[in-house]
């Protein structure tokens, strides 16, 4: 059984739905590189040191505090942080509803699945189905990890999702971030290039299927590691760079022509698809009960959003 990351209520008008938040992300298969002493390849370890005495401090003796003066702290524990505003730390408050398309993608951050607590199933289904049928998302606020977040609540497949959103002050404008301003191309000066670019887009149009993509760079690194292991850990000869060269303005039409003539390449599939992963994870579980309403399921599936 999945472990809940947060428990509380989801406020929908005067309706309070008992819910839990579950992680929507799989554990990332990162390339795990250990830090070693280059002299003997011994692993590097860390200790928590008292900066006054220089002694090692056990985890049981460590507390957290907020600095209020020169070497002066107010000690805070989890109970203190919740007591500062009990309602904010135990509820997801819906502030209003907006069309799903009205929130720019740059604002989306981490997603969480929402599951109902026992006794709240009907109210949960009511909000989920209403959001799916109206193509709206709810704007809400909640506190996670000592920080208040803005969030979007929307229907995805048969579930509700709480997706943290960035605040406006957290995002830079493109110009402030250093993006150079490039004026729009005019039809009179770039008609041919625009038509060819749009044609190229049309030839490369594909259906959204996340199972078609995988981390091939990780595979390449592991392949290289295996090759180096056969050499006794010695460095392999350098490989020639294959980075693409920048396309010059005069070469745009030529590059577009060649792109249109080149067969469209789809990403190489590999690994387990989401359906296969789900089937494997549930192999030992009992079959799920039939869905109560095929009409609602079909409606939600037609309107489902991608979890960013």
Q: Return the CATH number at 142.
A: 2.40.290.10
The 10 Å Cβ neighbour count of residue 260 is 15
Percent of the residues in the chain that have a pLDDT greater than 70, as a whole number: 76
Q: Could you say which of 114, 145, 169 is where a domain stops?
A: 169
| 99 in a structural domain | yes
Average pLDDT (265-275) is 55
Domain assignment present for residue 180? The answer is no
Region 32-50: what's the mean pLDDT? 89
Out of 76-90, 119-133, 195-209, least confident range: 76-90
Burial 32-48 (b: 16+ CB within 10 A, else e): eeeeeeeeeeeeeeeee
Query: How far apart, in whole angstroms, are the C-alpha atoms of residue 100 and residue 96?
Result: 12
C-alpha radius of gyration, the chain, whole number: 26
Q: What integer pLDDT is reported at residue 196 of this predicted model?
A: 85
Q: Looking at residue 81, what is its pLDDT?
A: 72
Q: Which residue is it, tokens 């191309």? A: 185
The beta-strand segments (E) located in 42-180 are 64-69, 72-76, 91-99, 108-116, 136-144, 147-156, 159-165
Answer whether 57's CB lies under 8 Å from 68's CB: no
Question: With b meaning 16 or more CB within 10 Å and e meaning fewer, what string describes 3-18?
Answer: eeebebbbbbeeeebb
Q: What is the mean pLDDT of the chain?
A: 79
The confidence score (pLDDT) of residue 185 equals: 80
The tally of domains found in the chain comes to: 2
Q: Has residue 205 got a pLDDT over 60? A: yes
Query: What confidence score (pLDDT) does residue 240 get?
Result: 55
**pLDDT, tens only, 58-100:** 999 999 998 888 888 888 887 777 776 656 678 999 999 999 9
pLDDT of residue 283: 43
Lowest mean pLDDT among 74-78, 132-136, 265-269: 265-269
Residue 189 pLDDT exceeds 70: no
Alpha-carbon distance of 90 to 80, in angstroms, equals 14
Residues 125 and 215 in one domain: no
Question: Does 261 or 304 have the greater pLDDT score?
Answer: 261
pLDDT at 211: 83
- State residue 289's pLDDT score: 36
Q: Examine the domain organization and report whether 193 and 112 are in the same domain.
A: no
Instruction: Give the separation between CA 183 and CA 287, rounded to whole angstroms.
Output: 58
Give residue-wise pLDDT tens across range 138-175: 999 999 887 889 999 999 999 999 999 999 999 999 99
Question: Are residue 2 and residue 146 in the same domain, yes or no?
Answer: yes
Could you give the CA distance from residue 33 to residue 228 in angstroms, rounded to a whole number?
Answer: 15
| pLDDT value of residue 246 | 58
Inform me whether the pLDDT recorded for 112 exceeds 50: yes
| Inside any domain, residue 50 | no
Identify the CA nearest to 307 among candidates 7, 149, 121, 100: 100
Residues 164 and 190 in one domain: no
| Residue 120 sits in the same domain as residue 194 | no
Beta bridge partners of 16: 11
Find where tokens 């040191």 sit.
49
Query: Same domain, yes or no, for 8 and 77?
Result: yes
User: Does one domain contain both 200 and 158?
Assistant: no
- Asked if residue 143 and residue 201 are part of one domain, the reply reads no
65: tokens are 């505090």
Q: In terms of domains, do 119 and 143 share one?
A: yes
Secondary structure in 3-state letters for 164-213: EECCHHHCCCHHHHCCCCCCCCCHHHHHHHHHHHHHHHHHCCCCCCHHHC
Residue 132 and residue 6 share a domain: yes
Query: With contact defined as beta carbons under 8 Å apart, do 218 and 29 qualify?
Result: yes
Residue 121 in any domain: the answer is yes
Q: How many angstroms separate the CA atoms of 175 and 46, rounded? A: 41
Q: What is the pLDDT of residue 220?
A: 84
Q: Give the domain range for residue 265.
A: 185-235+253-284
Question: What is the pLDDT at residue 300?
Answer: 47
Residue 268 has pLDDT above 90, yes or no: no
User: Are 279 and 196 found together in one domain?
Assistant: yes
Calculate the CA 120 to chain-centre distance.
Answer: 27
Q: How far is CA 36 from each of CA 57, 231, 282, rounded to the nearest angstrom?
A: 24, 19, 40
Q: What pLDDT, on a 0 to 100 scale, did the predictor assign at position 115?
A: 96
Cβ atoms within 10 A of the Cβ of 26, count?
Answer: 8
Pairing of β 15-23 and β 108-116: antiparallel
């Amino acid at each position: 059984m999945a472990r809940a990351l947060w428990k509380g209520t989801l406020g929908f008008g005067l309706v309070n739905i008992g819910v839990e938040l579950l992680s929507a992300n799989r554990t990332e298969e990162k390339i795990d590189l250990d830090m070693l002493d280059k002299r003997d390849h011994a692993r590097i370890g860390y200790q928590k040191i008292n900066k006054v005495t220089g002694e090692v401090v056990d985890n049981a003796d460590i507390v957290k505090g907020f600095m209020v003066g020169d070497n002066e702290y107010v000690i805070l524990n989890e109970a203190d942080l919740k007591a500062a505003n009990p309602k904010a730390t135990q509820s997801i408050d819906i502030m209003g509803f907006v069309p799903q398309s009205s929130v720019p993608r740059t604002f989306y951050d981490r997603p969480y699945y929402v599951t109902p607590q026992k006794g709240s199933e009907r109210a949960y289904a009511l909000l989920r189905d209403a959001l799916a049928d109206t193509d709206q998302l709810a704007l809400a606020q909640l506190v996670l990890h000592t920080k208040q977040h803005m969030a979007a609540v929307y229907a995805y497949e048969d579930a509700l999702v709480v997706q943290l959103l960035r605040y406006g002050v957290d995002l830079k404008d493109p110009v402030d971030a250093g993006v150079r301003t490039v004026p729009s191309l005019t039809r009179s000066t770039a008609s041919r290039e625009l038509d060819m670019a749009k044609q190229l887009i049309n030839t490369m149009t594909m259906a959204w299927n996340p199972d078609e993509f995988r981390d091939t760079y990780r595979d390449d690194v592991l392949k290289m590691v295996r090759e180096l292991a056969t050499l006794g850990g010695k460095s392999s000869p350098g490989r020639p760079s294959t980075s693409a060269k920048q396309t010059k303005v005069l070469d745009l039409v030529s590059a577009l022509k060649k792109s249109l003539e080149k067969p469209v390449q789809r990403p190489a599939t590999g690994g387990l698809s989401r359906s296969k992963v789900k089937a494997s994870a549930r192999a030992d579980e009992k079959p799920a009960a039939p869905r109560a309403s095929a009409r609602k399921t079909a409606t939600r599936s037609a309107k489902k959003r991608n979890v960013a």
